[in-house]
Structure 1
Amino acid sequence: MRRNMLLPLIFGLLGTAILCSLGTWQLKRMAWKTEVLAAIDAKILAEPVPIPLSVSQDEDQFLPVRATGSIGPEEITILASVQKVGPGYRVIAPFEMTDGRRILLDRGFVAIPAKDAPRPKVEATITGNLLWPDELNSSTPSPDTEAGVWFARDIPALAEALNTEPILMVQRETTEENLVTTPFPVDSSGIPNKHLEYVVTWFGLAIVWLGMTAFFLWRIRHRSV
């Protein structure tokens, strides 16, 4: 082998090995994330329990719960979108349970024309999941009080506005006879899992790197002929 080809060959093989190792690491991360999402889905769909007197975000995120009480007519609408349906609103209402506790209830989705439709007080048994959404960031607009539209489920602010405990239950099922919303239940689809994209990216770069190395070595060899 010509001496002027040795350094590019080493550099090319080393770069390919590094890129392949990153792809392999992402494969392992993808397997781990798949197990995590499966565990979350299993927890979401487990047998519901009464809402605990004391809740913890770390321990009770996604906890399946069931409660009976009355859904108040007061509500806050939060701008949202449903795939294949389009924009609309989440409806957040106070839910007063039979023991007197008041919590937040995410009743589900309504289309834009139904934003101001009447939704009177109703008694129901609700099955759903506790949730602490991660929706607020530095670019989230403040609520538009004139239009009655919020842009994120800010639990402390919602609880203060609707005079409830800072606990949010997202409705999955309800015994209401006449549904006025479409349930927008908790699932794991909103949790990002882009590891397959990273796997394809790193191994794709490894193939390109190896191909460019082979081309570069071919050029060196033919220039030296």
Structure 2
Amino acid sequence: MFAALGTWQLKRLQWKLDLIERIDQRVHAAPVAPPAPDKWAGVTAASDEYRKVRVSGKFLYELTTRVQTTTAKGIGFWLMTPLCTGDGTIVFINRGFVPMQSGDLARPAPPRAGAEPCAGAFGPAVEITGLLRMPEPKGRILRENDPANERWYVRDVPVIAQARNLPRAAPFFIDAPAGQEYPQDATEKPTGGLTVIAFPNNHLVYALTWFALAAMVAGGYYLVLRFERRKTRDQDDAQH
């Protein structure tokens, strides 16, 4: 059983190394267009997450959702803002991190979009080249969103889009890098480029541990057999 667990961890090690290599290639590849609406159903973390994409359009700043988070810069919020693209679809952009200020939790909720939200997109068009990210699921560490009370703890864009009445929003979002924080003349300027790409890889240690336990069991079994054989031999000698 221990040997089987060790072999399984070696397979997991190879899978993790392949994953790290695949993600590294995506991050450093030339940017491509994000998946079109007819491809949204097939977008997955395995095939698309951390892919570098480029999108242009106009922000709907008034529909920004502030998602609570903790980063290396402290406690604050991700600013998740819908971007209206040229074809009328909407992609949420994580414009970056802003630190929490007094009164932030008492801010009024953003409005719900109208029937044609992109018709109200004003201002200059922007271009974002960032990393495609999948919605964050809630878990034991991340708290569950509370849309009714405008409390957001995970970047679950389908739920955010529903709360903002944006049915044509993409099921993924894009992390904006440093230097592409819009609007650039805003008094509350977010910090972009804080995407953490880390994949714990302890599978080799686990494999060695399981194989060591297998060796200990095999060694202990050998010692028991050796002791039993010596005991039997001593009993035979005593009888003769």
Question: CA deviation digits over 1:112-137, x for unaligned, max 9?
Answer: 3388399xx97532111222234135
2:158 is the alignment partner of 1:156: yes
Opposite residue 210 of structure 2, the aligned amino acid is W
Aligned to 2:127: 125
* Aligned-pair CA distance for 1:63: 3.2
2:54 is the alignment partner of 1:80: no
* Aligned-pair CA distance for 1:66: 1.2
Larger RCO (CA under 8 A, 6+ residues apart): 1
Whole-angstrom CA distance in 2 between matches of 1:210 and 1:145? 59
Aligned to 1:24: 7
Kindly indicate whether the alpha-carbon contact (under 8 Å) linking 2:31 and 2:52 is maintained by their aligned counterparts in 1.
yes
Whole-angstrom CA distance in 2 between matches of 1:42 and 1:186? 16
Query: Structure 1 residues 204 and 107, CA, compared in 2 at 3 Å: closer, same or farther?
Result: farther
* Aligned-pair CA distance for 1:86: 4.7
Aligned to 2:116: none
Aligned to 2:169: 166
2:100 is the alignment partner of 1:112: yes
User: For residues 130-145 of structure 1, what are the structure 2 equivalents within 5 Å?
Assistant: 130-136=132-138, 140-143=143-146, 145=148
Kindly indicate whether the alpha-carbon contact (under 8 Å) linking 2:66 and 2:77 is maintained by their aligned counterparts in 1.
yes
Aligned residues: percent identity? 29
TM-score, with structure 1 as normaliser: 0.69
* Aligned-pair CA distance for 1:202: 0.8
Aligned to 1:51: 34
TM-score, with structure 2 as normaliser: 0.65
Kindly indicate whether the alpha-carbon contact (under 8 Å) linking 1:75 and 1:162 is maintained by their aligned counterparts in 2.
no
Kindly indicate whether the alpha-carbon contact (under 8 Å) linking 1:172 and 1:184 is maintained by their aligned counterparts in 2.
yes
Question: CA deviation digits over 1:36-69, x for unaligned, max 9?
Answer: 2211221233111233432331454433211233
Opposite residue 153 of structure 1, the aligned amino acid is R
Aligned to 2:17: 34
Whole-angstrom CA distance in 1 between matches of 2:191 and 2:210? 44
**Correspondent of 1:67 among 47, 51, 55:** 55
Where does the alignment leave 5 or more consecutive residues of structure 2 unmatched? Answer: 108-121, 235-240
Whole-angstrom CA distance in 2 between matches of 1:77 and 1:27? 41
SS class of match (1:150):
coil
SS class of match (1:113):
coil
Paired residues, number:
202
Aligned-residue RMSD, C-alpha: 3.6
Where does the alignment leave 5 or more consecutive residues of structure 1 unmatched? Answer: 1-17
* Aligned-pair CA distance for 1:104: 0.9
Question: CA deviation digits over 1:149-189, x for unaligned, max 9?
Answer: 212222221112234433222223543446423333363x2
Query: Structure 1 residues 212 and 183, CA, compared in 2 at 3 Å: closer, same or farther?
Result: same
